[in-house]
Amino acid sequence: MENNDLKVNETSSNGLMEFLTELGKALTASGISVVDITSILEKIAQAYNEKAEILVFPTMLLLKIGEQESAPLNAAIQKPGLLPLNQVSEIYDLIYKAEAGKISPIEGKKCLRKILSEKHKFGPLGILFGYILFSMGIGMLLQPTPEQLVVSGVLGAIVGILLIFSRGRNRFLLILPVVAALIVTSLSIWGVKSGLVTGSVAMLLPALAYFLPGATLTTGMFELAYGEIISGASRVIYGTAILFLILFGVLVGIQITGISQQNFLVTNPLNALGWWAPYLGVFIFAMGMYLFMSIKNKDLPWVILILYIAFFGQQAGNYLVGGVFGAFSGSLLMTISGTIIERLDHKTPSIVSIMPAFWILVPGALGFMSLATLVSQNYFTAITDGIMVAMTIVAISLGLLIGAVITEPLKEMEII
C-alpha cells in the first residue's frame, strides 16, 4: 500500500494540468454546471497535494496549479444533446479514483481519452429505436391517446434518422433543431390536412423534445442562484435562442403547408388510454433513454427509480398545491434521491440518474408552447404562459439548489 501511495505521489505533479484540462472539457460537454465542475477539479488537485485556482465557463477554462498557469482554453462547445451517459458514468468512475489519489494524472489522462473514444453501446439502430421509444413515452405523458402514440412513434423515427445522419457532422448539428422542427411540422400538418390525424401543437412536442433546452435553462438558473452570473446568463440566453430556432422551424413549416396557426396551435390534452398510461409512459421513456443515450446496465435501475420519483413528486405537488410547486417538489426529490444513490451505490453518479428526469419535468416543452401562443397573436395568453414557464424553471432550479444544500453533508462522507 505504501509503495502504491509513493508511486502516486511521485507522478502526481506530472501531467496534472493536462489531466484537469481534458477532464474539465469532458465535464463541460456533459452539460454539468460550472459549480460542480469547479468542485470536482479542486478536489482532484487537493488529492495530489496541489492547490488549484480554477475558473470555468461553458465555453472557456482557466487553471492555475502552483506556479503553473494555463492559457485560456476553449472548452467543448455545447451541442444539442449530451455525451452518451455510459461515458459520463465512466468519467465519474475515473473522478472517484482521482479524488482518492488512486491513479496518477498521466494514467488518468490516458483513461479519459479511452473513455471518450468509446462508441455508442447500441449503435445507430439503438439510437433509432431508442428515440422512437423516447418520443412515444413523452407522448403518453403529454396526451395519452392512440393517435398521439402512433404520431409520436412515426415522427420520432424520422428525427432519429436525422440524429444518426448528423453524427460527426458538426456543422449540420448547428441547424439540426431547425431542420427537425421544419420536417416534423410539415409532416404533421400534411397529416392534419389529409384527414389522417387531428392536429395540435402537442403532436409536435414528443418528437422535438430532445432539442428543447429545459435542462440548459434550468442549469443556467441554478448557476445564477449560485452566483455564477456569466455562466448562468450565457446558458439562459443560449437556451432561449434554441427555443426561438425551433419555433422558426415550426413557423416555416406552418407557412409552407398553409394551415391556420390559430387552429393548429390549439391544444386539447386528453387521456383516452386510461389512468395507467402516464405511468407506462415513464417506463417506455426510460427504455428509450437506455437505448438512445447509451445508459450502462448497472445505472438503468437507478435511472428508472429517479424517473418515477420525479414523476410522482411532480404529480403530488400538482395535486396538493399547483403546477409550479409540482415542478419544485419533483426536482427536490430527484436531487436528494440521486445524491443518496450516488453515495450508497458509489457507482451511479447523480448526474446520470437525474439527467433523464429533466425531460419528465418538461420545462422546455412549456416554453415552446408559450412561444407558440405568442405567434398565434394571443398576446395575453402568451405573457401568462411565459411567466409560468419562467416560474417553472425557477422552481426546478430551486429544487436542485435546496436538494444540493440538504445533501451537502453526504458528499463529504465516505460510505463504503
Q: What are the backbone dihedrals phi and psi of residue 57, each rounded to the nearest 5 degrees, phi first?
A: -125, 165
Sign of CA dihedral 301, 151, 156, 396: negative
* Positive/negative CA dihedral, 363, 353, 172, 181: negative
The CA-based angle 285-291-297, given to 5 degrees, is 100
Q: What's the rounded Cα separation, in Å, for the pair 326 and 329?
A: 5
User: CA 158 to CA 163: how far, in whole Å?
Assistant: 9
Q: Which residues contact 18 (CB under 8 A, 6 or more apart)?
A: 105, 109
Please give the DSSP secondary-structure letter assigned to residue 103: S
Please compute the mean of the pLDDT values over residues 353-376 and round it to a whole number. Answer: 69
Q: How confident is the model at residue 130 (pLDDT cuts 50, 70, 90)?
A: very high
Query: Which secondary structure element, helix H or strand E, spans residue 53, and what is its range?
Result: strand 52-57
Task: Kindly report the pTM of this predicted structure.
Answer: 0.87
How far, in whole angstroms, is CA 233 from its chain's centroid? 18
- Angle ∠(68,109,410) on CA atoms, nearest 5: 90
Q: Which amino acid is at 198?
A: T
Q: How many helices and strands (H and E) does the chain possess? A: 20, 4
Decide if 277 contacts 147 (C-beta within 8 A).
no
Q: What's the pLDDT score for residue 296?
A: 93
Helix (H) or strand (E) segment spanning residue 249: helix 229-257
pLDDT reported for residue 164: 92
pLDDT, tens digit (0-9, with 9 covering 90-100), for 232-279: 898 889 888 888 888 888 888 888 887 665 555 545 556 677 888 899
- For the chain, give the longest Cα–Cα distance: 75
Rounded Cα–Cα distance for residues 289 and 127 (Å): 9
- Cβ distance 333 to 310 under 8 Å? yes
DSSP assignments along 346-379, one per residue: SSS-HHHHHTTHHHHH-HHHHHHHHHHHHHTT-H
Residue 162: burial class (beta carbons within 10 Å; 0-12, 13-18, 19+): middle
Q: Which helix (H) or strand (E) holds 64?
A: strand 60-65
pLDDT at 170 (0 to 100): 72
Assess whether pLDDT exceeds 60 at residue 166.
Answer: yes
- Residue 237: CB atoms within 10 A of its CB come to 12
Q: Considering only 196-205, 305-314, 350-359, which range has the smallest mean pLDDT? A: 196-205
Q: Give the per-residue pLDDT at 10.
A: 41
Find the distance separating the first CA and the last CA of the chain, reported in whole Å: 18
Which residue's C-alpha cell is 392534419?
Answer: 192
Where do we find the cell 480554477? 54
Smallest Cα–Cα separation from 327: which of 412, 227, 402, 241? 402
- Checking if the pLDDT of 285 tops 90, the result is yes
- pLDDT tens sequence across 167-206: 877 778 778 999 999 999 889 888 877 777 776 667 788 8
Helix 379-406 × helix 214-225 angle, to 10°: 60
Q: Residue 258 carries which side chain, given as an amino acid letter?
A: G
For position 14, what pLDDT does the model report? 54
pLDDT at 111: 94
The answer to whether 138 and 206 are in contact (CB under 8 A) is: yes
pLDDT in tens, 24-80: 888 988 888 888 999 899 999 988 888 888 888 877 788 888 766 665 555 544 444
Q: Is the pLDDT reported for residue 352 higher than 80?
A: yes
Which cell numbers in the block locate residue 53? 485556482
| Mean of per-residue pLDDT scores for the chain | 82
Give φ, ψ of 53 to 5 degrees. -110, 120
Strand 68-69 with 60-65, pairing = antiparallel
